[in-house]
Amino acid sequence: MRYSIMIRCIGEKTPKGFFAFLDLLKETPFSGVNLAFNETPFLFDADFPGAEFKKELFSYGFTLRYAHGPMIYPGLFGRTDFREISERLLKGLDIAADLGITDYTIHPGSAVNEDYEYLRGESIEKNVAFLRPFVKRGKELGVRVSFENGINQPWDDPRIPLKSITPDFDELIGIVDLLRAEFGDDSCGICFDTGHAHIAGLEPLTELKKIGNRLFMTHIHDNDGGRDDHLPVGEGSFDWAHFREGIDAIGFDDELSLELYYEDEIWQNRPEVYFRHLYEGLIEI
């Protein structure tokens, strides 16, 4: 098993803030990092010196395999203009390939009726059409595309407010299978976000067994089942024992990647100790 952490900028989302985060990680056990393109908007500027950024990034010696594509909330077919996000997702794939990244996460959209009731069949159909260009481009570039589960499942639970409607695993499986039939089994898969699954009330062992070899990526974080807090492992109530049982059951032995939020005080109060704590919690899963 490999272990990694998603880079968050310290302060403003600039190269300076980006590399300030990497500077902290040099004194920790982490050897793998991953990109979140919402944290690096400068990479999408037409005149950004990408070659210089790439050289400095790899001078740190970290491995880099995952990237989270630009996000859209909520992504409602027929109500959201997907043109701009589609252009950024395609450019993000090009950037990822240039950096040697092998796996790229996308949040799918959702189809709902006028009362915001989820339409599974229409949602799968529209997502396949929406996501096809990214899978095609990824296939050409040698980058696998994964689709991430959302936070609003089960759809008929009135206690869950409308925040960001994104598919559950059953829909993701339907999307992946249709696109794999077109582009091959190595073209696309699923990113299992533990925090989103917990808010959705999903049992990780059951879901992972359904997902099987479609599991390409993970986003690891915890919460109390109510808010998407992106807490370290063990600081919420997610069932890590069943998660571990699930990934073992399907033979997943790839990469567990932390996707956390941070309080500002962390940067001033012995961050190397904090990041060591995060790493220890990750490897104990």
What is the reported pLDDT for 1? 92
Phi, psi of 273 (to 5 degrees): -70, -40
Q: At what angle do helices 169-183 and 204-211 cross, to 10 degrees?
A: 20
> For residue 69, what is the DSSP state?
P
**pLDDT confidence band for 71 (50 / 70 / 90):** confident
Question: What size, in residues, is the chain?
Answer: 285
Determine the residue type at 90: L
pLDDT tens digits, one per residue of 224-272: 998 889 999 999 999 999 999 999 999 999 999 999 999 887 888 889 8
Residue 257 near residue 5 (C-beta atoms within 8 A): yes
What is the reported pLDDT for 154? 43
Q: Which of 21, 72, 67, 14 is nearest to 45 (CA)?
A: 14
pLDDT tens digits, one per residue of 195-225: 999 988 899 999 999 999 999 999 999 999 9
H helix or E strand, kind and range, residue 172:
helix 169-183
pTM over 0.75: yes
Please determine, for residue 76, whether its predicted confidence score (pLDDT) is greater than 90: no
Maximum Cα interatomic distance, the chain, rounded to a whole number of Å: 52
Determine the residue type at 81: D
R_g of the chain computed on alpha carbons: 18
What is the reported pLDDT for 33? 98
Question: Which fold would CATH assign to domain 2-283?
Answer: TIM Barrel (3.20.20)
Percent of the chain predicted with pLDDT > 70: 94
Residue 183 near residue 92 (C-beta atoms within 8 A): no
- Domain boundaries of the chain, sorted by first residue: 2-283
What is the reported pLDDT for 232? 96
